[in-house]
Structures are given as C-alpha cells and as structure tokens.
Amino acid sequence: MNNVYIVSSVRTPVGKANRGSLAHVAPLDYTTAVFKGAVDRVKNLKLEDIEDLMIGCATPEAEQGMNMAMQVGQAAGLGDHITGVTINRFCASGLQAIAMAHQSIACGHAQVLAAGGCESMSLLTLGGNNFVANPALNKIFPNAYLNMGNTAEAVAKKYKVSRASQDKFSLASHDKALRAIDQGLFNNEIIPLDIDLNYYHEGQLKNRKFRFSTDEGPRAGSTLESLGKLPPVFSVGGSVTAASSSQMSDGAACSILVNEQFVEERNLVPQARLVGFAVAPVPAHLMGMGPVAAIPKVLKQTGLELKDIGLIELNEAFASQSIAVINELGLDPKIINVNGGAIALGHPLGCTGAKLTATLLHEMERRSLRYGMVTMCVGGGMGAAGIFENLKI
C-alpha cells in the first residue's frame, strides 16, 4: 500500500442559506474557486497534476447535477484533461470523498487527487426538487423518511437531554465561533470569494461586486434568556428549537491528496494524513447517535484510544444529539468544536465533512496536536468518523 498525504485543505466562507452571500451564486462557481485555491496553496503543484476530482454532495441534482465534480475540473480550465465523480453519503459526503481519494491513492490507482464537498441549500430544497416517497419502502421501513428534526427530538427524549442544556450548548457554539472569527483563526483555511452578482431590484437589473471572506452564521447578542423564549419547531411540547439546530448553509471545501513518490518528486510538505475512516449504522429514528457507533469502530481500526485524540470536530446537527454523543462516549467537551460548530457556523450538508477536515487540520497545526477526529451523524441512520494525523509537528 502506498503512503498518502494531505498537502492542502481549505474551504470557502460559509454563507447563510436563502439570504446570505452565496444564496444566488452557482455552487459550481464557488466549488471551482475552492478547488483552484487548494491547488494554489501548494508550491510546485499545478492544476494539470490533478488526475481526478471527488466531490461530496448531499443533493446532486439541478444546479449540483450532471456530475458536478467533473464540471468543476472543466470550469477550472482543465477541459478534456480531467475526470470527476460526485459522491453522496448525505452529511458525511465530504469526508467520504476524502476517504475514497485516500483509498484510491493507497491502492496505487492514482497519484494526485482532489477531494471535498459542496452544497447550496439555497438553490436546492431539502430532499431534492421533486421528492417522492417510495410506497414499498415506506411500508417495509417507514423510518426511512423520518424528518431529521424529529430524530433530534427522539434523541433528546431517550437520552434525557434537557431544553436548558441544549440552549446552553447552542449559545456556547456561537460564543466560540465569534471569538474565533474575531481572532482570525479561520483566515488560513478560508479561500475568499470575489463575487460578481447580477440581480433585479424594483424592476431594474443591478450588479453587485464584493469579496466574501467571513462566515455569516455566528450571531452576537444572544442570551440564555432569549434562547429560552424560542418555541420548539419540530414537535408540540418538544425541546428542539431553531437555535439548537444546525443552520442551513451554502459552501464548499477541498483537500489535495498525493502519494509519497509525488511528495518526493515535487519536494512537497505534507500537512496531514488520514489514519482511519469508518461508518456504522444506528437506528434511523436515533440518527443523531451515529458517532457513538462510528467512533469506537475507527478507534479499533487504527489501534488508538480516545485519550490519543487531541481535538474533535463533531458536527452539530442538533444540540440534543451532540450532547447525547458527548455524554454516551465520555468525550472531553474542552477538545470538541473549540472554535464553534454547525449551530453557529452552519451545516452545508455534503460540504460539511470536508469543511470540518480543513478546520481540524489547521487547528491541530496551530496547537501542535498529533491526532484529531472529524465525526458526524448521517441521515437515514449512520455515523461516520475519520482520524487524522498532523504531520507538521
């Protein structure tokens, strides 16, 4: 097996769905920008060196259809000299793409690959443009179509996660994210986007040009008192509110993976490596507990223990499931989402796993930590987890 290294891992800033900076921007455009940005970050690497693009996307249709991964390479200027594949494992799509690129290089099928994720939750509705439930599946396994908010309520009830603890967790996510932005902690992982937007206003065609470089999700000024006044949004008498749910968002992220021979030939500096990756099933109605199944599996696979993991990016699909996962596995809250999570920063579905990888690798380097983990629950009843080793210590 070939040794595989990550030499670049970056992301776009995350826009608020429907009303943010990327709401009317084609996902192909900002995914192409982050792909080119990931390559530009590596000295002695050219776009022409990329053999294949692997892009995760949870809704690969309409503006994200027609195998968008292939189109990203073409839009970057590679024309007839690139291939691509679009991958869907819902919320883990971006992490799955990185794992598949690693596997391909390790097996000797390629030397240099780009892998990441994208999602426009502004342009594509949840479930797709024309969702149709399959009657046969619905009869055999009705939980296949459960609303994710209802699974968050089920987790809160089963694992006794209180409304107060969810509000506290949500507020902390925003506070950490605001502090990170204020300190410029995301600057190195973000590829700024220069946006040229045409739109109609009061019957007139307008044009707006601007640079988008800062995550839009984090909100200042919230208090436990203000959060406590919000009504539940998924269940009468429930505890999950809009504030304790991940934000619908738009964004893209990309990593560049290469084999050891290419590193030596081009004199590249490895940033990290993927040590292990695992997915595992959980009951569909308790989808949020996916990491509880995936984390032990990836630890066993790699021969590591929880005490070896210095930093964790746990996707905050909902505060209820994040709290329940932390409690069930006995995770250390001090090393989880140290710069905020999806409740504040957003959850652009298929992008998220790749986005969290970029955030994790840069923070591990900043803190000189050896091992870190990206993990998330996945719609339908799955969990995913990947362990990365920082090679810049």
91: annotated active-site residue? yes
Query: 3-class secondary structure for the chain?
Result: CCCEEEEEEEECCCEECCCCCCCCCCHHHHHHHHHHHHHHCCCCCCHHHCCEEEEECCCCCHHHCCCHHHHHHHHHHHCCCCCEEEECCHHHHHHHHHHHHHHHHHCCCCCEEEEEEEEECCCCCCCCCCCCCCHHHHHHCHHHHCCHHHHHHHHHHHCCCCHHHHHHHHHHHHHHHHHHHHCCCCCCCECCEEEEEEEEECCEEEEEEEEECCCCCCCCCCCHHHHHCCCCCCCCCCCCCHHHECCCEEEEEEEEEEEHHHHHHHCCCCCEEEEEEEEEECCHHHHHHHHHHHHHHHHHHHCCCHHHCCEEEECCCEHHHHHHHHHHHCCCHHHECCCCCHHHHCCCHHHHHHHHHHHHHHHHHHHCCCEEEEEEEECCCEEEEEEEEECCC
Active-site residue identified among 57, 118, 254, 377? 377
Active-site residue (options: 91, 118, 254, 351):
91
Structural contact between residues 392 and 304, judged by C-beta atoms closer than 8 angstroms: no
Among the listed residues 57, 347, 351, 362, the single catalytic one is 347
362 belongs to the catalytic site = no
347 labelled catalytic: yes
Residue 144 backbone dihedrals phi, psi, to 5 degrees = -60, -25
CB neighbour list of residue 265: distance below 8 Å, 6 or more residues apart? none
Cα–Cα distances in angstroms (integers) from residue 56 to residues 10, 213, 353, in the given order: 15, 22, 9
114: closest CA among 37, 62, 59?
37
Per-residue tokens: 238? 């429930």
Catalytic residue numbers, as ranges: 91, 347, 377
